[in-house]
């Protein structure tokens, strides 16, 4: 990857709907050259997905919650089982397997505290392998980004 690829990626992070022509004008390449580079970036997995970023508040999901989860036992089967559950939980936006005190760090968006309580009942209290969890309710979304470059 060269600086042209990085410039294309920076633009795509901001607006994935940009046309090859619009990108070409900003990076100094022809539209076909931009299309070729985008195809390669997608084929090699540098661009994983083109997505729409939604506003949780406009969809009635006004609460963002950060949860640290500590497992009782940390073996491969237990880790994989927890990862599978988090991948299918609708309110989990992000789930990270981490080092340090917590085994997992979760970022959730929920309608209200009742929805979060239901999530904890299903995924923490009913699960035999959860030692404990710590919850932080986000008061202000200061910066939200998936940008890498």
pLDDT tens-digit series, residues 137-148: 999 999 988 889
Alpha carbon distance, N-terminus to C-terminus of the chain: 13
pLDDT at 109: 97
Classify residue 48: in a domain, yes or no.
no
Classify residue 113: in a domain, yes or no.
yes
Indicate whether 130 and 64 sit together in one domain: yes
**Residue 109 domain boundaries:** 57-137
Contact between 42 and 110 (Cβ < 8 Å): no
- Local structure of residue 100 (DSSP, 8 states): S
pLDDT tens-digit series, residues 69-126: 999 988 899 999 999 999 999 999 999 999 999 999 999 999 999 999 999 999 999 8
């Amino acid at each position: 990857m060269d600086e042209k690829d990085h410039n294309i990626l920076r633009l795509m992070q901001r607006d994935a709907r940009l046309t090859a022509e619009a990108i070409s004008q900003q990076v100094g390449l022809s539209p076909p050259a931009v299309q070729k580079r985008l195809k390669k970036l997608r084929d090699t997995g540098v661009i994983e997905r083109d997505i729409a970023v939604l506003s949780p508040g406009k969809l009635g999901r006004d609460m963002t919650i950060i949860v640290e989860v500590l497992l009782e036992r940390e073996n491969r089967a237990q880790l994989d089982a927890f990862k599978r559950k988090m991948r299918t939980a609708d309110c989990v936006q992000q789930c990270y397997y981490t080092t340090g005190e917590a085994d997992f760090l979760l970022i959730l968006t929920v309608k209200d505290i009742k929805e979060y309580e239901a999530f904890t009942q299903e995924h923490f209290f009913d699960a035999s392998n959860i030692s404990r969890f710590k919850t932080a309710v986000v008061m202000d979304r200061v910066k939200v980004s998936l940008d890498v470059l």
